[in-house]
Structure 1
């Protein structure tokens, strides 16, 4: 039997140029890469995604206090505009 965990939700995203961000992030799941940037960020004029609130599917930022086995264990995260398009504003160094 495989145990499943509730994935943290993206409670807010201020990266307004992302195709998944329209009144919140609507990607099914986002990936946070090793520089704490949102790897799911997609700059297009079209809006996409699902009628869901995004979840954190994977986190590659191993030095984050919320990262356990490359999975985010924060209750929720915030994504925001950064110099690299969008990043995880909930990142905290371990």
Structure 2
């Protein structure tokens, strides 16, 4: 079982339209959906989150080489803007 200390950090997020992105992702943890989109993306004018660097937990992208038992095992993750989901996992690599 993965503990929060073992979860990969969001090294970089360039999805500036996300309410959790205030000079970096400040959600406690994010999830990636089956399209490698950030399921935690929230488009609001207000900025929120915690004084932490976000971590990645759940990952529904089963064909990613970093997906192990639906959890992300990448060393770190980069997230960027997307035209369809708001933000995508730029660290996705096909298995």
TM > 0.5 between the two?
Answer: yes
Q: Tell me what 2:53 maps to.
A: 53
Moved over 6 A (4+): none
* Number of residue-to-residue matches in the alignment: 93
Whole-Å Cα distance in 1 between the matches of residues 60 and 13 of structure 2? 19
Q: Tell me what 1:89 maps to.
A: 90
Secondary structure, counterpart of 2:6 in structure 1: coil
Whole-Å Cα distance in 2 between the matches of residues 91 and 12 of structure 1? 14
> What's the TM-score, normalizing by structure 2?
0.93
Whole-Å Cα distance in 1 between the matches of residues 73 and 43 of structure 2? 27
Whole-Å Cα distance in 1 between the matches of residues 28 and 68 of structure 2? 21
> What's the TM-score, normalizing by structure 1?
0.94
Provide structure 2 residue ranges, at least 5 long, that are not aligned to the other structure.
Answer: none
2:71 matched to 1:75?
A: no
Aligned CA RMSD, in angstroms, stands at: 1.2
Cα separation, partners in 2 of 1:3 and 1:76, compared to 1, 3 Å: closer
| C-alpha displacement of 1:3 | 6.2
Cα separation, partners in 2 of 1:65 and 1:48, compared to 1, 3 Å: same
